[in-house]
Amino acid sequence: MTSQGALASPAAAPAGAPAVSPAELRIYGLGGLPEVRPGDDLGALIGDAIAASGLGLEATDVLVVTHKIVSKAEGRLVELAGVEPSVLAERVAREAGKDARQIEVVLREARRISRMERGIIIAETSHGFVCANAGVDASNVAEGVVCLLPVDPDASAARLRAVLGARFGLDPAGAPGAPGTAPGVIVSDSFGRAWRNGIVNVAIGVAGMAPLADYRGQHDAAGYELRASVLAVADELASAAELVTHKLEARPVALVRGYVPPTDLPPGTARDLVMDPTRDLYR
Amino acid sequence: MTSQGALASPAAAPAGAPAVSPAELRIYGLGGLPEVRPGDDLGALIGDAIAASGLGLEATDVLVVTHKIVSKAEGRLVELAGVEPSVLAERVAREAGKDARQIEVVLREARRISRMERGIIIAETSHGFVCANAGVDASNVAEGVVCLLPVDPDASAARLRAVLGARFGLDPAGAPGAPGTAPGVIVSDSFGRAWRNGIVNVAIGVAGMAPLADYRGQHDAAGYELRASVLAVADELASAAELVTHKLEARPVALVRGYVPPTDLPPGTARDLVMDPTRDLYR
């Protein structure tokens, strides 16, 4: 492993330096955005935050944007006062001690209910994501309002990429990572997992980058073909971003600098991260 | 959200600077380790890699170590030539076109089989992890050999932490993150997920840090209590590390610098990340 890896290392080590110089990735949490409101030009606000940070924007960067500000800008907010709960929503809310109107919004956002127990609703969204409450969330929005996932988070990511590319002189149509190309954009949310405690940030929208790294057909140093090795790098980037954006902070955008895609796949979308129902053993 | 976050920001912005200066996290992939063999002092080898990198080791760092080198150092390797497959292993292997001896090792590592279909075995390990092939893996080891998960990855992480603490003059018994305390150590592996394509790096061993960040009881800027917000930060750190360590590279260790735990929990172990079976809706 060592010798092949060293040969594959992009940076040749100067004499006296470590045999393998450390690879380095930096993640910046960008602040300074105002409270985002429906109709706001989110790309312009994020562009302002990048400009204020002094970091600029590079072709090999990846921007990770918390979906909450995307949803707010796109007006994906529901006033509970105007929601008439269904019979099922009333029953679930009563048993769980929750707001029936909020449960009703969850049911409306669901394409399919995967599990419904003890007030927990794990639902499949219109996008195919399986997550708690179909992505409906009451945090970081005004009292009496809940926030939905963007209608098409991939399109949201692509729009932000186009706006930011234009502002910083980077071409969304260029070859990914090549000089002058607009960087990858990820829209993220925090999802629970089967089997493990705690939620983690994942990618729900992707533009301008490959969400998966596919090692299949490649060989390790021992000659073993890596058959089961498809890495969900967009999810890993989203998780990495959460380490600087956090829940209560004023940093809804992270700029990842220095990420080198490990395999050479064309750009894709977050749909590539959704497991085909026929392959999913845990629907 | 903005004002509270800005107040909580550790770095006060100087006049003329951005209102919220960017938070920054750096992840270094450490190379230069030799091929690890059973009985090797892995803590010493990692210490050498840290020393060679010139980065040093700080109390607020987090080291993420790929389990493969931990397993190798601990001799968790099985020669398939000496394995006698059971009847079930023979049948599964025949149907899936796989090596019956390797399937047998998977069955022996399993405490419980969660799913077994089309040659895919999702199993619960002795640690309580639910993952493909009970963590048994043939990549990055010699031909005819498979690698098991460490017997007790939390203990492995704690041992590495003690050895590295001693070498760099940092006390494993100090208060986490306080000057002079040994940093957190995570042992990682790549696991598949329900519902989503691709594997991601997660924490299977943790020492000297809180694996979860618990926002429950805290309030967002709108006054909404964050009820469902327990973040699996150790998993997010493991995922972030994978972005620089990669599969085929000679960088089995990542040093994360600049991570600030968002909530104030005492150190824990990777057992905290394993969902209680009575709460798990997807066993």
Lowest mean pLDDT among B42-51, B96-105, B169-178: B169-178
Q: Which one is predicted more confidently, B37 or B22?
A: B37
| Chain B environment of A115 (Cβ under 8 Å) | 281-282
CA–chain centroid gap for A82, Å, is 30
pLDDT for the residue numbered B105 = 98
Mean per-residue pLDDT, A211-239: 84
Whether residue A278 has pLDDT greater than 60: yes
User: What is the pLDDT at residue B246?
Assistant: 81
Give the rounded percent of residues in chain A with a pLDDT score beyond 90. 76
Closest residue of chain A to B242, computed from CA coordinates:
A236
Cβ within 8 Å of B, A 58-87: none
Task: Identify the pLDDT of residue B1.
Answer: 31
pLDDT of res. A83: 98
Give tens-digit pLDDT for A11-58.
333 344 445 567 899 999 998 899 999 999 999 999 999 999 999 999
Phi then psi for residue B2, to 5 deg, are -65, -50
Whether residue B271 is predicted with pLDDT greater than 70 in this model: the reply is yes
Minimal C-alpha gap between B87 and chain A (Å): 24
pLDDT of residue A139: 84
Which amino acid would we find at residue B27?
I
Cα separation, B260 vs B184, in Å, equals: 12
For chain B, the structural domain boundaries read 24-70+153-273, 77-145
Superfamily of domain B24-70+153-273 in CATH is CofE-like (3.30.1330.100)
Three-class secondary structure of residue A197 per DSSP = coil
pLDDT at B64 over 90: yes
* Segments in A74-232 forming alpha helices (H): 87-96, 100-109, 153-168
Tens digit of each residue's pLDDT (9 = 90 or more) over B176-220 = 889 999 999 999 999 999 999 999 999 999 999 999 999 887 776
In the chain, the amino acid numbered B175 is A
- Mean of the per-residue pLDDT values of chain A: 89
Whole-number pLDDT of residue B269: 98
- Biggest CA–CA distance in chain B, Å, is 74
Q: Does residue B45 carry a pLDDT above 60?
A: yes
Chain A residues with beta carbon closer than 8 angstroms to that of B201: 236
Cα of B70 to nearest chain A Cα, Å: 15
What pLDDT score does B9 carry? 34
A239/B129 touch (CB, cutoff 8 Å), yes or no = no
B270: Cβ–Cβ under 8 A, 6 or more apart, which residues?
B127, B153, B154, B157, B187, B203, B204, B205, B206, B211, B234
Residue for token pair 């419904």:
A116
Higher pLDDT, B10 or A145: A145
H helix and E strand count, chain B: 7, 12
Please count the residue pairs, one from chain A and one from chain B, whose beta carbons lie less than 8 angstroms apart. Answer: 339
Tell me which residues of chain B, numbers 238 to 277, contact chain A at a CB-CB cutoff of 8 Å. 239-240, 242-244, 246-251, 255-256, 259, 262, 272-275
User: Any residues with CB less than 8 A from the CB of A205 and at least 6 apart, and which?
Assistant: A67, A70, A150, A152, A153, A154, A155, A156, A157, A185, A186, A187, A269, A270
Who has greater pLDDT, A5 or A179?
Answer: A179
Nearest to B138 by CA among B191, B200, B88, B80: B80
Instruction: Determine the pLDDT at residue B224.
Output: 65
Instruction: Give the chain B residue whose CA is nearest to the CA of A28.
Output: B24
On chain B, the residues whose CB falls within 8 A of the CB of A19 are 31-32, 52
On chain A, the residues whose CB falls within 8 A of the CB of B71 are none
Partner-chain contact A248 B4, CB within 8 Å: yes
Q: How far is B23 from chain A (nearest CA, A)?
A: 5
Nearest by Cα to A31 from A255, A257, A250: A250
- Among A16-20, A251-255, A262-266, B67-71, whose mean pLDDT is lowest? A16-20
Distance from CA of B163 to the nearest CA of A (A): 21
Domain at A24-74+151-273, CATH from 1.10.3720.10, 3.30.1330.100, 3.40.190.10, 3.30.70.20: 3.30.1330.100
B266 burial type by CB count under 10 A (0-12 exposed, 13-18 middle, 19+ buried): exposed
End-to-end CA distance of chain A: 38
Matching CATH number, B77-145, of 3.90.1660.10, 3.30.70.360, 3.40.50.720, 2.60.40.60: 3.90.1660.10
Q: What is the mean pLDDT of residues A119-129?
A: 95
Which positions in chain A touch B112 (Cβ < 8 Å)?
none
Which of these, A112, A109, A44, lies nearest to A76 by C-alpha position? A109
Asked which of A66-80, A269-283, B186-200, B248-262 is least confident by mean pLDDT, the reply is: B248-262
Give the one of B5, B27, B248 whose C-beta lies nearest to A215's C-beta: B248
Which tops the pLDDT comparison, B53 or A219?
Answer: B53
B23 has which bridge partners?
A: A29
Q: What does each C-alpha distance from B195 to B78, B124, B184, B213, B256 come to in angstroms?
A: 31, 18, 31, 24, 29
Nearest chain B Cα distance for residue A227, angstroms: 9
* pLDDT of B237 strictly over 70: yes
Cα-based torsion angle of the residue sequence A188, A191, A197, A200 in order, rounded to the nearest 10 degrees: -10
| Partners of A190 in the β-ladder | A201
Chain B neighbors of A22, CB-CB under 8 A? 28-31, 53, 55, 251, 255
- In the structure encoding, which two tokens stand for residue B255, read together? 């040093």
Residue A221 binned pLDDT confidence (cut-offs 50, 70, 90): low
Contacts of A282 in chain B (CB under 8 A): 115, 194-195, 282
Q: What is the pLDDT of residue B184?
A: 97
Spatial separation of the C-alpha atoms in residues B154 and B35, rounded to whole Å: 23
- Alpha-carbon distance B219 to A117, whole Å? 26
pLDDT value, residue B36: 94
What ipTM was assigned to the predicted interfaces of this complex? 0.91
Give the three-state DSSP class for B279: coil
CB B154 within 8 A of CB B274: no
End-to-end CA distance of chain B: 37
pLDDT score at B227: 63
- Does residue B21 register a pLDDT over 90? no
Q: Is A190 on the interface with B (CB under 8 A)?
A: yes
Q: Chain A window 25-54: which residues touch B at a Cβ cutoff of 8 Å?
A: 25-35, 49, 52-54
Count other C-beta atoms under 10 Å from residue B11's C-beta: 11
Inter-chain CB proximity B280 and A33 less than 8 Å: no
Alpha-carbon separation of residue B233 from A6, A103, B10, B239 (angstroms): 30, 28, 19, 10
More confident: A78 or B226: A78
The model's confidence at residue B16, banded by pLDDT at 50, 70 and 90, is: very low
φ, ψ dihedrals at A196, nearest 5°:
-125, 140
